[in-house]
């Protein structure tokens, strides 16, 4: 099982799109812990969207598709529509 997930940082007002085979709770914990990388810029990341996939390759394909949008508004609409 794999996940496509979207995090949101209210202070940065930015989205982060990723994929993982870990539990979503564990992956979020790692983003919030002391690490280097893009998400180290903020400590208020919130999981706002997730899709489950049967394998890592499928989740990665979806991640690349969403990142190809290059549109914060389109990602925000995806998140809004899922609520």
Whether 13 shows a pLDDT value over 80: the answer reads: yes
Q: Give the mean pLDDT of 48-54.
A: 99
What pLDDT score was predicted for residue 46? 98
Q: For the whole model, what pTM was predicted?
A: 0.95
Query: What's the 3-state SS for 33-72?
Result: CCCCCHHHHCCCCEEEEEEEECCHHHHHHHHHHHHHHCCH
The rounded percent of the chain whose pLDDT value lies above 90 is 89
The rounded percent of the chain whose pLDDT value lies above 70 is 100
Q: Is 3.40.50.1370 the CATH classification of the domain at 2-82?
A: no
Residue 11 DSSP one-character state? T
């Amino acid at each position: 099982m794999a996940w496509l997930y979207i995090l949101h940082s209210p202070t940065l007002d930015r989205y982060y799109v990723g994929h993982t085979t870990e539990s979503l709770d564990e992956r979020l914990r790692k983003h919030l812990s002391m690490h280097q990388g893009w998400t180290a810029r903020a400590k208020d990341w919130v999981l706002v969207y997730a899709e489950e996939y049967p394998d890592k390759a499928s989740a990665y394909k979806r991640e690349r598709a969403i990142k190809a949008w290059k549109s914060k508004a389109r990602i925000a609409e995806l998140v809004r529509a899922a609520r």
